[in-house]
């Protein structure tokens, strides 16, 4: 691992400098993570009096549990739809911005600020807009003959959380797509134009392939976002309902652990989630070009 050519010779100072970070890491990250792993092998009896070691049974039970399988499916649908919606709309905006040189700063300012809006607030805003009794969207949908009610209809609930989650993520993706587009040398597109490629053809043959590292990076980031950071969106809108229709994995860990007090199962779910994050992190570091090098 890289250091400087010359280094300071102090014996204790480096440990002192690292102490705060490592203390927080051990106490609030490693220890709880270890606890989660340990608890995932235990089960409490119905009265919380006796705890016994049950091996992998918490895990096997999970995969026999229809609710958990449902949560897996819900997470998949939610993640893929949200990521797709957020990526495609932000790419369109970035491409549009790339054509408007003069006014680009104004548009950028007008488009980036939702990054600063908390996922929970985004949820509340869209929840209000889609409120079945007074919301503007149900009112408009009723005009075209659709009866919106996300408190009762599963599809409506899923649509609501997808829209709220994607809305919040657009500005982040937009900024990275803009940066990605700017790093494509103008000479490439000019060369293609001279070769007679029209704007649409140029997009598919030049721009999109050259954007693929950015797209892949954003895909990973968006998946992580939809799997974890959207807890607040769900909690502020549907609370996982109706009938588990928006019960994503992260929300279920919370629901089982804090509301249902089923610690063994919640811990096993935590461990599975950790596995997913670790896999995503490895993908991000192995296959996505990063400035961090080891």
Partner 1 sequence: MVENHRWLDVLAHLTLILGVVIVAFPVYIAVVASTHEPADFVSGLIPLLPGDNAVATYASVLEGGVSSQMSVPILTMLKNSLIMAVLIAVGKIVISVLSAYAIVYFRFPFRQLAFWMIFVTLMLPVEVRIVPTFQVVADLGMLNSYAGLTIPLIASATATFLFRQVFLTIPDELMEAARIDGAGPMKFFRDILLPLSRTNIAALFVILFIYGWNQYLWPILITTDAGFYTIVAGIKRMADVVDSEPLWNYIMATAVLAMLPPVIVVIAMQRLFVKGLVETEK
Sign of CA dihedral 191, 195, 200, 206: negative
Is residue 116 at the binding interface for partner 1, with CB under 8 A as the rule?
Answer: yes
For residues 79 and 226, the answer to whether their CB atoms sit within 8 Å is yes
Near partner 1 in 1-30, by CB under 8 A: 1-8, 10-11, 13-15, 17-18, 20-22, 24-30
Task: Output b/e per residue, 241-276; b: 16+ Cβ within 10 A.
Answer: bbebbbbbbbbbbbbbbeeeebbbbbbbbbbbbeee
Which member of 63, 258, 259, 287 binds partner 1 (CB under 8 A)? 258
Q: Does 235 bind partner 1 (CB under 8 A)?
A: yes
**65 or 103: whose CB is closer to partner 1?**
103
242 preceded by cis ω (within 30°)?
A: yes
- Restricted to residues 145-204, the positions that interact with partner 1 (CB under 8 A) are 167, 170-172, 175-176, 179, 186, 189-190, 193, 199, 202
Q: From the list 126, 165, 226, 246, which residue makes contact with partner 1 (rule: CB under 8 A)?
A: 126
Options 51-59, 64-72, 152-160, 227-235: segment touching partner 1 (CB under 8 A): 227-235
Applying CB under 8 A, which of residues 107, 141, 149, 283 lies at the interface with partner 1?
107
Residue 173: count of CB within 10 angstroms of its CB: 27
Q: Could you give the CA distance from residue 267 to residue 273 in angstroms, rounded to a whole number?
A: 10
| 50 lines the binding site for partner 1 (CB under 8 A) | no
Choose which of 42, 80, 84, 129 interacts with partner 1 (CB under 8 A). Answer: 129
Q: Within 13 Å of residue 237, how many CA atoms lie on the same side as its CB?
A: 37
């Amino acid at each position: 691992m890289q250091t400087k050519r010359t280094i300071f010779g102090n014996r204790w100072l480096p440990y002192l400098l690292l102490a705060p970070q490592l203390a927080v890491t051990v106490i609030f990250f490693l220890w709880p993570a270890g606890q989660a792993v340990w608890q995932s092998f235990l089960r409490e009896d119905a009265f919380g009096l006796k705890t016994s070691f049950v091996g992998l049974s918490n895990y096997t039970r999970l995969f026999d549990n229809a609710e958990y399988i449902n949560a897996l499916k819900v997470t998949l649908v939610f993640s893929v739809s949200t990521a797709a919606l957020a990526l495609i709309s932000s790419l369109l905006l970035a491409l549009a911005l790339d054509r408007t040189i003069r006014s680009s700063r104004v548009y950028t300012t007008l488009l980036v600020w939702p990054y600063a809006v908390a996922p929970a607030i985004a949820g509340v805003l869209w929840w209000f807009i889609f409120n079945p009794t007074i919301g503007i969207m149900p009112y408009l949908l009723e005009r075209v003959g659709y009866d919106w009610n996300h408190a009762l209809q599963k599809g409506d609930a899923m649509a609501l959380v997808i829209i709220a989650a994607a809305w919040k993520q657009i500005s982040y993706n937009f900024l990275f797509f803009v940066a990605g587009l700017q790093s494509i040398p103008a000479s490439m597109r000019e060369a293609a134009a001279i070769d007679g490629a029209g704007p649409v053809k140029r997009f598919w043959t030049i721009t999109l392939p050259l954007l693929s590292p950015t797209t892949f990076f954003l895909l990973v980031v968006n998946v992580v976002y939809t799997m974890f950071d959207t807890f607040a969106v769900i909690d502020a809108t549907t609370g996982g309902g109706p009938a588990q229709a928006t019960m994503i994995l992260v929300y279920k860990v919370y629901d089982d652990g804090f509301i249902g007090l089923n610690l063994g199962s919640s811990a096993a779910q935590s461990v599975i989630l950790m596995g997913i994050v670790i896999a995503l992190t490895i993908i991000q570091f192995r296959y996505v070009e990063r400035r961090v090098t080891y």
